Each structure stands twice: as C-alpha cells, then as structure tokens.
Structure 1
Amino acid sequence: MIDDELRARLESLGGLDAGPGSLAGVVVIDVTRVVAGPYCSMILADLGATVIKVEHPDDPDYTRTFPPMLERDGADAFSGFFAQYNRNKLGVTLNLRHPEGKVALERLVAQADVLVENFRPGTMDRLGLGHERLREVNPRLVYAALSGYGQSGPYRGRPAYDNSAQATGGLWSMNGPAGGPPTRVGTIIGDLAASLYGVIGVLAAVRHAERTGEGQLVDVSQQDSVLTLTENAVVSYTTEGIVPEPLGNQHPFVRPYELFACQDGFVFFGGYTDKFWKISCEIFGAPGEFDDNPDLQTMGARFDDAVYAERVKPMVERWFSGRTKAELEALAGDLVPLSGVKDIAEVVADPQIAARDMVVDAEYAGYGSLRTFGSPVKLDRTPPRARGIAPDTGEHTAAIFRDLLGYTPEEIEELRAAGTI
C-alpha cells in the first residue's frame, strides 16, 4: 500500500476524490481492455483503490473508439463506452514488448498490491511478465487473471468473447422463446459476471495478503462465471436428467412468474406464493374470486402445466389487460411483486433509480457532462466514488513515472523517444 500523502498526490492528477474509500491505499495495476477486466478494476477504483491503467502507446484500449462519443470542437471525440468502464483511473502508456517497458512494469508491480489482466492465458508469460515472474518481483502481489476459459483445462488457450462464455456456459441454450431457437442474453453477461467474480476474488486475496504477506493468483473464467448464473439447471440435470430448454418469459416451475401484457406495454408479475396469490385475487379479481376457486389456492395446484395454461394465466391476463403499467403498479406494486417492464429511458427517469443515485453525472472538460450508471454498492462510512472521470490515453504517464517510480525527467523523455511510453 502507498501512504496517504502519495495517494492524494497521485489521485489529484486525475481530479479524483482521494477521500477515505474502503480500499484507500491499495494500488492496482490495470493491464486490461474492453470490459472483462476494466469493469473489475473500475469497481476497485470506485471503492477507493488507486488504479493505474496501462495501455500500449500505439494500440490503446480499442473501446476508446466505441460509441456513443462525446464531441467537442477542435479535438478528438471521447468514448462514453470507454468512460463508463474506466472512471476513477489514472492512465499511463507502456510498451510491454520493449525491454525498458518490462522493467517499468516491474517497478510498478513492486509498488502495487494488485495486478489485473485479461489476456489469453500464456500472453503475459510470453512477455516475461506472468504470475510467476511478477511474484518474484513482489511476493505479496495479488495477480488477477480474467479469461474466457481460465488458466487451466483443455480450452485454456482458446480465444473467447462474451458470446463464447454464454454458449459454453449453458446460458445461451436455455434462453429464448419457448419452442424457438436459443437466444443470447441481451447484454455482455459473461464479461460482467467475470468482472464481478474478479472483484470478489481480489478482495479475498488482498485480505489474505494483508494477514500473511503472501499474494496469490486469482483465476476467473467467463465460462465458469456464466455457468453459475444458470439457476437450477445443473441440479435439474444431475438429479433428474432434465436438460433445460428455452421457456421464453416463463420460469421452469414457478407460476405465475412471467411477463404479462397490459394496456400500454408489459408487466412482470410474480404472485406465485399462496400469500401473494390471495392478495392478487382480492385486488384484481371479481368479488369472491379467491374463495370461488378453492382448487387454485395452493402453489402445487397452480404450478401444474395444464391448470396454469387453462385457468391461472387467462385469469391474470384478464386482470391486467385493461390497465396501464402505472395503474397496475399503483394498485399492487407495494403489496405483490408486480413491476412495469421499463425501457432504458424510463429507467433513467425512474424515481427509485434517482433515490439510489444510480445515474450519475461526470464532467469532462470541453465535452460536457456524461451520465453513466452509478455504484450499486452502498457503504455508509466509505461510500464509493461514482462520479470520477476516465483518463485520456497516457494522461498521467510522466507524473506517475516521476512521483511513484522515481524516474527523472530526462529518463522519461528517453523512454518516450524510444517508443517505450
């Protein structure tokens, strides 16, 4: 860990809040790109870690070109996509193929607590900067490696994207319309899940390193991460031999628990327990509808395929068809699980999202304000910093090399002239 004075000096370079975050003093070297990796290190940065993003001087993170773009007169555009996953970081450029670039990274690692990388397994070893080498440089280093298939196993060397994980982790095969072809989940769930598990692994390993002085490898696979998101699929297969298939918006056994049409769109309704079913009948049904259908009063009866399709679902459809999302939520949203299905414009304007500070503004000089998602982690003593900005390519290289690594101005210029930084 670095001391408070140096931390404050470094973070002031990026206009970052150097307040007492939960991870204040923890230094993270971020050798990642795209999402799986950058999101992991960004969460650590939100929680107070000093994160130094390392990019190749001639080939920086290519999400810097991803839309949407912030524009300003007479200057290059800045990617909102990149900004969303790289806020609160300091940026340096470093060519890890140059001998002096390797030396510089090792000097960074010597000052660090954590390194996060998301290359294909073996890449860092071929550079001479793999886990075993960096452990020699810093025995307490937590080395987090996020990859498609992990650091071991027959697939370890395969290239992978998020879709690779959705395909091989089982999720893709389960998602989609009933009776139709499998459909990918509509976001990069494999990347995001790996990032979240990466954070969990890093926090556990940092705790161990603080107690023992011993670092370790945190090995997170996108395929593994996706597999854990398949709910009951594994145990359904291993105990009953059932291979889940796409069910559309239905749950495999809980009913009613799905999408229902209403006057101006759709709602999710999950009134499947006996308690919620009785309340729903009393709110929406005709007088006496609950008592008039004693054979529908237990979950077991309502879960029966035929009973649900022929009696329960038509009843719920009748309840909802003549009402709007807002009317349904006003009638029952505080009493049973019933929520309007909102598009992203409605979500951004949602009062609950506002109350939870989940859409935040960050000011980019010359570009204006960028609104992105906030932090879902709420800490009352050390709240995450969610309004930071992302760095320009190599924005803090000279300052970090000078203040953290002790390079002289002349040495920095020599590195720049050689294309090392």
Structure 2
Amino acid sequence: MTEAPRDNGIPTRTGPLAGLVVLDITRVVAGPFCSMLFADLGATVIKVEHPDEPDYARTFPPFVGDEGEQLSAFFTQFNRNKLGITLNLKSPGGSALLKKLVRRADILVENFRPGTMDKLGLGYEVLRQENAKLIYTAISGYGRTGPNASKPAYDNTGQAAGGLWSMNGYPDRPPVRVGTIIGDLAASLYAAIGTLAALREADKTGLGQIVDVSQQDSVLTLTENAVVRYTAKKEVASPLGNEHPFVRPYGQFPCKDGYVFFGGYTDKFWAITCALFGEPDMAVDPAIDTMEKRFDPAVAEAKVYPLLNRWFSHYTKAELEDMAGDKVPLSAIKTIAEVVEDPHIAARNMILNVPIAGKLIGMFGLPIKLSGAVEEAPQAAPAPGEHNDLILAELAGLSLQEVSELKTGGAI
C-alpha cells in the first residue's frame, strides 16, 4: 500500500478502500483502532484533533526519539497511515469547517459521550444535511440509547458492565480484568464491520445512517457460553482460572521452561497423545477412556493431570511443539518477546516496521490478509495539524491565507 497522489493532491493509499475519505474524530483506542483498520486497507483517514488538546494518547509510553523529539509508539501504532488536521469544534470557524469536510467524506467516526456532538451542533441530524450519504459511526461505553447512554465509560467499564470481568481469574480469588483493553478493541472491530455494512447499504440506497456501537454490548458478545448458561439453566458464570466450563483437559500445563496450552480433550486427540508419550494403554484405561470421564473434576485431578504433568515435564515448550504440535492442539504459551520473534508471525507479516522519530519500530500488523492486495510499508502517524494546509485547501476549498486566518482565530 504505497502513497500515491490523488487527483486533488491528497495522498492516498492503494488497497480495497482506496478512495474512501474518513474523518476520525476519536481519541485513545476505541475509535483510532477502527479508523486505523480503514487506513491500513487503503482509505484516506483524516485524524481530527483539537489544536490545544490533541489526542492524549500522544502522552502514553513507550516513547521513541531523543530529548528534543519524544514520540509515543503507542499513539503511532493506532494512528499510522493517517493524515492529521486540527479543528476546534467549539468555535464557529471550526464547526463550519467540519461541515465542509463532511460534504467530501464518506465516513465520520467519533467516540465522544452520546450527546456531545449534538451539543456542539454537529450531531448526525445536522451533518446528514451536508451529506445524505454520510456514515456516522459512534463508539461509546453504553451506546446511544437506553438508560445508561449518557454515562462516562472506559475500557474497564465495558469489561465490568459486559460481564467479562466477573468471569475472569481464579475461583478462590476476586475477579480479574482481562489483561488488555478488550472493550476498546472489540468495540472498534464491531464499529469497522458495522461501518462497512452501512457503506454497502449507502451504495445501494444513496443514504447514510448511524452505526451505534457500545463497549458493553461488544464485551457481552465475548462471554462465550455464559449468556446461554444463564438463560437456559440459570447458571452464573464465575472465574475458572485456566479451566474450561465443559471440556477437559483444555488449559495450561507446565513443562521444563514454561507452560503450554494443551486441548486434547476429544477421544481421538487423547489417544494420539497417549501414543505420542509412550503410554497408549492410557487411551483405553476404563477410568479415563471417554471425554465424559476425563471432564469429571475429581477424575481429572486424580488421573488426567498427573499424566500430562509427568509427560510434559521432560520437555521444553519448543520440544513439545515439535513432537506434538502438528498432531494435537498443543502450543507454547509465548511471551510477547517470543511472539514478536516468531518466524510464523514474520511469515504472516504481522510485525510492521513503522517510522517514528527517525527510527523504525515494530508494531502489530493487519490480520486481514486479502489475496488481491499487496502489503507495503506503513506510513508514520501525523503530527497534530500536520496536513492542515493540504486538507483544508483540497477538501474545504480554502486558500492558504484563509487557513492562516483560521489558525490565528483559534479555529484550527
């Protein structure tokens, strides 16, 4: 996806979404990750920030560069391949400029608390008058409707309110949050899917719509069997540690240099595993010869887990993967260092070298692999307002003098 000039002078990236213009009025991750996916797939994404209060993710570590230029790798990871402008949406000039840009945009993504854009006079009902085909994607903690819609929220809010937090951890300890911002990430993924669906609809009807995505809703869909366990049997999911609610063995097991995941719970995989480790008779041992018997907690503790612990204790993670990974579901539980250095990850082009502060820093790549697309070098995240002159001239039709006056007046 190389940079190439558009007819109007704005650089664009080649790819399946080339030609789409996205206004990204979001901060931190729930929103920037969504628009990053569009940018990676070729859309022209314009990062909109307040001139005096840019995205505070720019202050998040780790930082790259010398003392004179310390740039956030965290911010860059979620804002690569974008162009950057500044707009003060509270000012009449900034508000008017956004409306002009909306006329040339296909998608607008925002992650303010519901009602904020309306208070600014820039809600969907206003913006659709500028562009009837506009897709207005709104990501928030609780969504745009319902009694909790106006509440503030963060990722942990989604994990807590969506039920995931209550299920995570160990049964004899308090619940534990998932060790990443899963609410922000899931909401961004659903927002990207919903936006593309709405875009498809707009291509058919000529009319845009609101894409309303809630962190709570998104997290709820990640709870696997918990909802139907409750609605069908009134069972309330609780922390299980590394256990699974209805299959065993399926979890973490120690080995010589760490831990592996082993999920050979079916009769087929159990028999293969017993043979691999030189004890094929264990596959027909009447105490553990069926999935149902192996799932019984007492049987698992007394018979299954001691076998696996004994077998695995003689080998390293790599040795276990080599001997069994092609035959049964067994994989090393890798550190992030091991994942980044994994040859398979490299073969999938999942670590991209993104320019930042004069260096190339590895960041996660795009997991969507399209046979018709060529992945090329990513571009750096923009500085605040870096492309003001270009974007406002080409998409809003302003002269450099007008842009300068708007800057002096605090609109940009």
Indicate the TM-score class for this superposition, using the shorter chain for normalisation: over 0.9
Q: Structure 1 CA distance, aligned partners of 2:351 and 2:403?
A: 39
What's the CA shift for 1:410?
1.2
% identical aligned pairs: 59
Structure 1 residues 7 and 223, CA gap change in structure 2 (3 angstroms):
farther
In structure 2, what residue type is equivalent to 1:111? Answer: R
Partner of 2:364: 373
1:394 and 2:388 equivalent? Answer: no
1:296 and 2:298 equivalent? Answer: no
What's the CA shift for 1:323?
1.2
What's the CA shift for 1:285?
4.0
Partner of 1:223: 216
Aligned length: 409
Q: Structure 2 CA distance, aligned partners of 1:6 and 1:190?
A: 36
Unmatched segments (≥5 aa) in structure 2: none
What TM-score results when the alignment is normalised by the length of structure 1? 0.95
What's the CA shift for 1:295?
3.9
Partner of 2:9: 9
Partner of 2:191: 198
Partner of 1:310: 302
Structure 1 residues 7 and 278, CA gap change in structure 2 (3 angstroms):
farther
Structure 1 residues 385 and 231, CA gap change in structure 2 (3 angstroms):
farther
What TM-score results when the alignment is normalised by the length of structure 2? 0.97
What's the CA shift for 1:178?
2.4
Partner of 2:342: 350
Given that residues 374 and 386 in structure 1 are in contact (C-alpha distance below 8 angstroms), is that contact kept between their aligned partners in structure 2?
no
Given that residues 377 and 384 in structure 1 are in contact (C-alpha distance below 8 angstroms), is that contact kept between their aligned partners in structure 2?
no
Given that residues 65 and 71 in structure 2 are in contact (C-alpha distance below 8 angstroms), is that contact kept between their aligned partners in structure 1?
yes
Over the aligned positions, Cα root-mean-square deviation in angstroms equals 1.4
Q: Structure 1 CA distance, aligned partners of 2:87 and 2:375?
A: 29
Given that residues 7 and 50 in structure 1 are in contact (C-alpha distance below 8 angstroms), is that contact kept between their aligned partners in structure 2?
no
Aligned pairs for 1:120-199 (under 5 A) are 120-199=113-192
Structure 1 residues 260 and 378, CA gap change in structure 2 (3 angstroms):
same
Partner of 2:316: 324
What's the CA shift for 1:72?
3.0
Partner of 2:111: 118
- 3-state SS of paired residue (1:92): strand
Shifted more, 264-273 versus 299-308: the winner is 299-308
Partner of 1:341: 333
- 3-state SS of paired residue (1:288): helix
Q: Structure 2 CA distance, aligned partners of 1:236 and 1:287?
A: 36
Deviation track 1:87-140 (CA, whole Å, cap 9, x = no partner) reads 110000010011011110000100000000000000000000011111111110
Q: Structure 2 CA distance, aligned partners of 1:10 and 1:303?
A: 60
Partner of 2:55: 61
In structure 1, what residue type is equivalent to 2:222? Answer: L
Q: Structure 1 CA distance, aligned partners of 2:376 and 2:85?
A: 21
Q: Structure 1 CA distance, aligned partners of 2:193 and 2:376?
A: 18
Deviation track 1:382-406 (CA, whole Å, cap 9, x = no partner) reads 2455622210111001111112211
What's the CA shift for 1:253?
1.1
Deviation track 1:66-93 (CA, whole Å, cap 9, x = no partner) reads 10111136x3311100000001100000
Given that residues 21 and 107 in structure 2 are in contact (C-alpha distance below 8 angstroms), is that contact kept between their aligned partners in structure 1?
yes
In structure 2, what residue type is equivalent to 1:334? Answer: D
Q: Structure 1 CA distance, aligned partners of 2:313 and 2:47?
A: 52
Q: Structure 2 CA distance, aligned partners of 1:402 and 1:394?
A: 13
What's the CA shift for 1:305?
2.0
Deviation track 1:135-188 (CA, whole Å, cap 9, x = no partner) reads 111110000000000000111011100000100100000000122110000000
Q: Structure 2 CA distance, aligned partners of 1:348 and 1:98?
A: 45
- 3-state SS of paired residue (1:144): strand
Unmatched segments (≥5 aa) in structure 1: none
1:244 and 2:237 equivalent? Answer: yes
User: Which one of 84, 88, 94 corresponds to residue 81 of structure 2?
Assistant: 88
Q: Structure 2 CA distance, aligned partners of 1:113 and 1:382?
A: 22
What's the CA shift for 1:7?
6.1
Q: Structure 1 CA distance, aligned partners of 2:129 and 2:180?
A: 39
Q: Structure 2 CA distance, aligned partners of 1:358 and 1:386?
A: 12
Partner of 2:39: 45
